[in-house]
Amino acid sequence: MDEVTFEPGSTIDGFIIEEAIHRGGMATLFKVRRDDDPTPMVMKIPRIGEGEDPAAIVSFEMEQMLMPRLSGPHVPKFVAMQDFSTQPYIVMERIAGEPLLARLPELPLGYDEAVAIAAKIATAIADLHRQHVIHHDIKPSNIMFRPSGEAVLLDMGLACSDQLPDLMQEEFRLPFGTAPYMAPERLLGVRDEPRSDLFALGVLLYFFTTGVRPFGETETMYGMRRRLWRDPHPPRKLRPDYPLWLQEIVLRCLEIEPAWRYPTAAQLVFDLTHPSEVKLTTRSEKLKHDPLRTVLRRRFNKELTRPRAVESMAAHLASAPIVAVAIDVAEGSGALNDALRTTASRILATLPSARLACLNVLKLGRMTIDRTLDEHGHNKHVDRLVQLRHWAEPLKLEDDRLTVHVLEAVDPASAILEFAQASRVDHILIGARRSSVLRSLLGSVSAKVAGEASCTVTIVREPQLASPRSGPRAGAQDA
């Protein structure tokens, strides 16, 4: 391989080196440009000189496999690459926004701002997981924000995909990552667990709201292994004003067992963006570490120190969807609502980690002043919340699997679509009444939702009475 220089002004395959912008332990980043492309770009060059860590080569090969497969606003756009037969590099979009690392001197941040940041990062993680990739190095230096606000996840060198060989797993036995953010199962060699990224985000949110990392700065293997049995100080011990709902979220992310964390990043986004709907458990009020007997039980429990295989990424995400059901509480909607409940029950029975969001839209007038109270003096919003919970009672769902939402809007269909988009809903159930002249002229809410939603939509119709000529007929579902 010919010697290549990286002085400003030198050229590699048409890319003109401008300056080095970061020198890391495994690679160096250069700002580059190309005369025929105005896109701001960065070139990543692995460190392969004498005495360099061989993991730098393997992680770079992993990144070369992953980057061309990724798309969307939450990853840098891939431009070009070259393998080790000549000069290895990856060229990608240079993000023009703000790095999260720049916020560290300001810690701790206000709760609202920290939660908004965490929600954007969780959204990016959810998008990455949908592309079958686990990042494995979520930390401030690997996160930037576009001018439009989206979080961008950088550095896929430690990532893995269930659709590609995991070179890091195949060639190394020690875990690679950033010690303060590493999930307990990573120390056991487990790399196929997507909830490891949620643990790292829990560390980040704890750090950004308290100014202290939950497990300190230690990088010794023993110090890191302690998180297999020792929980961190609850945030409320450090900040007495820490919101109960926020401690609930943070400590759930930091659970030792992956199964006790959020099932998916999308469900974490839901709680971060709907704090009033967070179901509080004993986590929310903790002020001390877990008792010694609990720590000892974990310490000597062989099940907690045995690596476990998990299902594929696609199967994992499919087992824990967010399902939204739009319910009409108007008089005469009982049969249709019963059909919706039956459909929801069938779906939830097969998906024990699924979450149900019950929606109702309180329609506002375009040109009128809307009254908060009805003719009986009852608050309309509160009454509908109660009606939604009453509708859901027969489903007998655990508290953390059910939320209810009354949306106030002029256009019910748009309100449902906006909620589904913002809340990362996977499946919408919505009822459709029988045809009428008015519906034919103006269009229906269900038709607009089905036509414009970016997720699966099931339209449920109320059962029709059996006819002597046609025989019995069950309620129909139109996808």
Q: pLDDT of 349-358, one tens digit each? A: 999 899 999 9
Q: Are residues 264 and 384 in the same domain?
A: no
Q: What domain range includes position 162?
A: 103-316
Q: Are residues 325 and 312 in the same domain?
A: no
Among the candidates 249, 284, 316, a domain finishes at: 316
Assign 324 a pLDDT band (cuts: 50, 70, 90): very high
Q: Is 120 within a domain?
A: yes
Q: Are residues 310 and 325 in the same domain?
A: no
Q: Are residues 46 and 79 in the same domain?
A: yes
Q: Is 358 within a domain?
A: yes
Q: Is 309 within a domain?
A: yes
pTM beyond 0.75: the answer is yes
The pLDDT, as a whole number, for residue 312 is: 81
Q: Is 86 within a domain?
A: yes
Q: Say whether pLDDT at 456 is over 80.
A: yes
Among the candidates 284, 316, 348, a domain finishes at: 316
Assign 374 a pLDDT band (cuts: 50, 70, 90): low
Question: What's the CATH code of the domain at 40?
Answer: 3.30.200.20
The pLDDT, as a whole number, for residue 300 is: 80
Among the candidates 271, 299, 316, a domain finishes at: 316
Q: Is 5 within a domain?
A: no
Q: Are residues 70 and 117 in the same domain?
A: no
Q: Is 431 within a domain?
A: yes
The number of domains in the chain is 3
Q: Are residues 304 and 382 in the same domain?
A: no
Q: Are residues 114 and 40 in the same domain?
A: no
Q: What is the 3-state secondary structure (H, E, C) of the chain?
A: CCCCCCCCCCEECCEEEEEEEEECCCEEEEEEEECCEEEEEEEEEECCCCCCCCHHHHHHHHHHHHHHHCCCCCCCCEEEEECCCCCCEEEEECCCCEEHHHHHHHCCCCHHHHHHHHHHHHHHHHHHHHCCEECCCCCHHHEEECCCCCEEECCCCCCEECCCCCHHHHHCCCCCCCHHHCCHHHHHCCCCCCHHHHHHHHHHHHHHHHCCCCCCCCCCHHHHHHHHCCCCCCHHHHCCCCCHHHHHHHHHHCCCCHHHCCCCHHHHHHHHHCHHHCCCCHHHHCCCCCCHHHHHHHHCCHHHHCCCCCCCHHHHHHCCCEEEEECCCCCCCHHHHHHHHHHHHHHHHHCCCCEEEEEEEEECCCCCCCCCECCCCCEHHHHHHHHHHHHHHHHCCCHHHEEEEEEEECCHHHHHHHHHHHCCCCEEEEEECCCCHHHHHHCCHHHHHHHHCCCEEEEEECCCCCECCCECCCCCEEC
| pLDDT tens-digit series, residues 82-106 | 988 888 999 999 998 889 999 999 9
Q: Is 130 within a domain?
A: yes
Q: Is 1 within a domain?
A: no
Question: What's the CATH code of the domain at 113?
Answer: 1.10.510.10
